Amino acid sequence: MNTYKYRARPIAGGKSVNGVIEAYSEYEAVAQIKAQSLVVEKITELTEKQGVHVDLNEPLWVSEKVLSLTASQFAIMLRAGLPMSRIVELIAEQTSDKLMKRILTACAADVSAGYSLSQSLEKNGKKIPTTFIETVRAGETSGSLEICFQRLKTYYEKSNRVKRKVKSALTYPAILLILSVVVVGVVMVVLVPRMTQTFEGMGSEMPLPTRILMGMSHFFTHWWPVLIAALAALIIGYKLYRKTPEGALRIGRLSLKIPVIGNIGRMNAASQFANTLCVLLTAGLPITQVIAIIARILDNAAIAKTVDAAVVELESGKRLGAALEGNPYLPPMLLEMVSVGEETGELEQTMDVIGSYYDEEAEAASAKAVGMLEPMMTIFLGLLVGFIVIAIYIPMFGMETAVAGA
């Protein structure tokens, strides 16, 4: 429930009065105030900005694993015939995820007050995906909420499995990169400066590789704060630019043109499209609303824009296959299977199958990229270490020669 502060005056006339009222929305709050024969002059929602307890251990978002488990719990308890208010309370008590516990605890109060689960999730679950909330809403409308939760459980279970495999494949390259940065940093900041003092005492001109290494060491030793600040500014600027509509669109288009990376982006988009389409159609949502939701949840803004353009075509009476025809980013096979599914009347089942196929394709494309990354990093690290060794060895060899000649 939200809390609103208001100022109102009696319909019969008289002084204005101030008060506080609890309601689900501002519209409902105004209706309750009018029921007291008052005319609302001003109303504002009260927000708790002071004294708010922030749990630093609370996750920043709800993970696919937690969403899958929560959906499974809802499906089981609905099958048991428990009332929704009690179901939400039980799941809130049982979940170990702090963010989901907080969201469901707030939802339990709203559901007990008479609001639907989708309404309370929309209000309290700002960090819950749109797909989850809209599927719940569709399930409530169609009376197939148990089936919708079962679908959501499978959907997020599959998504979590694919992401877990990709993260596992990236673990070794990430560790190798971190070790490389640490080793090179130690060499540049600690070892090379000490060697530089020895080389400068020789009084002779250093070879080109040694001068380059000394210059690099000097830069990293004296300018590392500037380097870190520039890197941080670049990352922040990129994230801010990506949040703008134009920036997200340009970055999305550019990422699709990058070899290997672009293919991964297409496979991920195809997987998201097919799996989400299957879940939302099974929930009973109309096709125009389904496509509009998919356009909002796709990771790549460029692909999302082309999918969103299909909504206008659907509203004009076209079928989904015709509306998506010629899409420059989605794989041709996906578009063909959409048309086949519509013609056979089994679009949900077709998207379920093709979604699994693109899950595997996205996983394979990611594994291929990681497989290419590992030898490239190894070669780069080898060349860098070889350059450092040569740059240090050449002047040391010159010193030995000079000593032997003396």
- Residue 278: pLDDT over 70: yes
Q: Is 32 exposed, middle or buried (0-12, 13-18, 19+ CB in 10 A)?
A: middle
- Whether the CB-CB separation of 110 and 1 falls below 8 Å is answered with yes
Fold of 144-406: Receptor-associated Protein (1.20.81)
Flag the least confident range among 22-26, 150-154, 160-164, 230-234.
22-26
Do the domains at 64-128 and 144-406 have one common CATH topology? yes
Q: Are 80 and 72 in contact (CB under 8 A)?
A: no
pLDDT of residue 354: 93
Q: pLDDT value at position 200?
A: 67
Percent of the chain with pLDDT over 90: 28
pLDDT the model gives residue 404 = 54
Banded model confidence at residue 17, pLDDT cuts 50, 70, 90: confident
pLDDT band at 377 (very low <50, low <70, confident <90, very high): confident
pLDDT at 123: 81
Which of 20-29, 60-69, 155-164, 330-339 comes out lowest in average pLDDT?
A: 20-29
Please report, for residues 21, 28, 290, the alpha-carbon distance to residue 16 in angstroms, rounded to integers and kept in the order given: 16, 20, 47
Q: How confident is the model at residue 229 (pLDDT cuts 50, 70, 90)?
A: very high
CATH topology of domain 2-46: Ubiquitin-like (UB roll) (3.10.20)
Give the lowest-confidence range in 123-127, 136-140, 222-226, 255-259: 123-127
Q: Which tens digit of pLDDT belongs to each residue from 39-89?
A: 888 888 765 443 344 455 566 778 889 999 999 999 999 998 889 999 999
Residue 254 has what pLDDT?
A: 93
Answer whether residue 405 shows pLDDT above 80: no
Question: Which of 197-206, 214-223, 335-344 shows the lowest mean pLDDT across its residues?
Answer: 197-206
pLDDT tens digits, 115-168: 889 888 888 877 888 889 888 988 888 888 898 899 899 888 888 887 787 777
17-23 and 2-10 as β-strands: parallel, antiparallel, unpaired? antiparallel
Helix (H) or strand (E) holding 283: helix 261-283
Q: Residue 190 pLDDT > 70, yes or no?
A: yes
CB 79 within 8 A of CB 146: yes
Residue 250 has pLDDT above 90, yes or no: yes
362-380 average pLDDT score:
82
What HEC string does 312-334 produce?
A: HHHHCCCCHHHHHCCCCCCCHHH
Q: What is the pLDDT of residue 266?
A: 92
pLDDT at 390 over 60: yes
CATH code reported for the domain at 64-128:
1.20.81.30
What pLDDT shows up at residue 48?
47
> In the chain, pLDDT over 70 holds for what percent of residues?
92
For residues 298 and 4, the model is more confident at 298
Closest CA to 291 of 323, 268, 267, 260: 323
Contacts of 29 (CB under 8 A, 6+ apart): 2, 4, 6, 21, 22, 23, 43
Query: Model confidence over 83-106: pLDDT tens digits?
Result: 999 999 999 998 888 889 999 998
Instruction: Please list, in sequence order, all residues whose beta carbon lies within 8 angstroms of the beta carbon of residue 42, skipping any fewer than 6 positions away.
Output: 6, 7
Give pLDDT, residue 287: 92
pLDDT bracket for residue 403 (50, 70, 90): low
Q: Report whether pLDDT(170) > 90.
A: no
Domain locations along the chain? 2-46, 64-128, 144-406
pLDDT band at 351 (very low <50, low <70, confident <90, very high): very high
